[in-house]
Amino acid sequence: MVVTTPPLAGRDLLSIADLARSDIEAVLELAARTKAGDDLGRPLAGRNLALIFQRPSNRTRVSFEVAVTRLGGHPIAIHAQEIQIGERESVADVSRILDRYADGIVARLISHRDLLRMAQFSASPVINAMTDREHPCQVLADCLTVREATGRLAGARVCYVGDGNNVCTSWLYAAGLCGVDFRMVCPSGYEPQGDVLERAAAMAAASGGRLHVGHEAAPALEDAEIIYTDVWTSMGQEAEQQRRREDFARLQVNESLVTMAPPQARVMHCLPAHRGEEITDAVIDGPQSIVFDQAENRLWVQQALLALIFATLPRPATAATAALEARR
């Protein structure tokens, strides 16, 4: 199958908010077709992609490595201790060097500010594989999963139970862009940042989506089609773990909470799960869980994303020659 006129060709993916609704739809359509058996060909043939991981990674690293390999490319995993961004080398220098070796960068960084600076100094595409601010690849996979479970994305009723973390931020933007009915439930003091809510609300006003942030689970779950949760304590927040356990205890996604939603509601979690904290074994392993389908969809979405970004870019030798000429 030949991918024609990709809307994301040559672009970075730093934030869901950088995308148009049509961009998201293009990724999801291609991912769905690929999952159904369509062949994307080898748009990454002859290309090397640098995969930087400042944070531990399981699904993200493996799914990206498999996706790059399936598309004919060569993934190069680089871990925090190897480059020591901000200590051994500046993020700008790392970006400049990798830009001369590789044809793109997939980066899981601690700081979103560092990601923006990396993209500033790279002529090749940079993809956000998670920062403290956003997790766009996760939420694109989530959107595919919601579409599979409910038959649509626009108008789907998603109840997110957790704090205003990076996943929630990306979900708010995706919901605003795509017309999702998105309800967030959290304890008081754990809401998303004000600027995120304002931006997402403006998107929702244009798309017909609905966004609501509240503190009680029952009204948000009453007609929910998707119950979504995430860890209560994200990486970097370990010192807050005990307080967060106490504050979130009443919002554990357990069998009692799940019965507040219709019986056909499905349960999602972006993983890794702290079983017995934000979600119980009975729920994550139960009949309403689509958690592992959701995890699988990381692969299909990331294959589609890479194909759309790289399908029409110049071949590596041509691109390298052009870059050298531009510097002369």
Residues serving a catalytic function are: 108, 135, 138, 230, 270, 298
Q: Among all chains, which residue has been given the structure tokens 């389908």? A: 293
Cβ neighbours around 321 below 10 Å, total: 12
Cβ distance 268 to 224 under 8 Å? no
Q: Running DSSP on this structure, what letter comes out for residue 151?
A: S
Q: Which of 87, 118, 99 is nearest to 14 (CA)?
A: 118
Helix axes 136-150, 166-178, angle to 10 degrees: 50
Strand order in the sheet with 48-53: 74-79, 48-53, 104-108, 126-128
Instruction: State whether residue 80 is helix, strand or coil.
Output: helix
Distance CA 265, CA 2 (A): 37
Give the whole-angstrom CA distance, residue 23 versus residue 41: 20
